[in-house]
Amino acid sequence: MKTNNQNYLLPLLLLVPNFLLANAGSPMLWFSFLHLIWINFVIGTFESKFLLDKFNIQNRKWLIIAANYISMFAGYYYIAPYFSLLNGYNDFWGMKSRVGEYELGGFFIGFLCSFTATLIIEFPFYWFSLKAKLKGWELLRPFLAVNLLTNILMLLIYFAIVAFTAKWN
């Protein structure tokens, strides 16, 4: 048999996190951890294979994978939040925003700056990964193609995570 105190215990326990702002992180933040830990390996493997298959470029896969880890860490954890903040939005990861408050303007500025940084950070890794050194457009075209493809795909995934509960500013 329940007492009156037990009837109030469950609602109280369910409300406490709201008062303490104790949440387990936003979907954006949790997906970025998955991206950092596992998806970068998949992206690097895909990019290396794509270079080999589509452009017939022999490369060292481990350098392509390492480039993805380093650029993602720098881009998503430092560059994107920083430029989002410069754009007037200080919650790139959606940790403080309530549903409907996440601002897509800050998200896109942060993502665009992160993509630009990715190109700069990953290029030396890409160049050193090549077994035969290419020059000019032969060097840049495959690099830009694989980076555009994977970054657009990741942009779409991150956008899908935040788009339905965000506002355009």
Angle at 35 between CA 98 and CA 164, to 5 degrees: 30
pTM over 0.85: no
Residue 94 DSSP symbol: -
Domain boundaries, the chain: 24-167
Per-residue pLDDT reduced to its tens digit, 106-165? 888 888 999 999 999 999 999 999 988 888 898 899 999 999 999 999 889 888 877 776
Residue with tokens 């694989």: 146
- Give the confidence band of 15 by pLDDT, cuts at 50, 70, 90: low
pLDDT tens digit sequence for 22-31? 556 667 777 7
How far, CA to CA in Å, does 73 sit from each of 1, 21, 57, 84, 152? Answer: 54, 26, 26, 16, 17
What gap in Å lies between CA 50 and CA 26, rounded to an integer? 32
Segment 59-86, tens digit of pLDDT: 999 999 999 999 999 998 899 889 988 8
pLDDT for res 19: 52
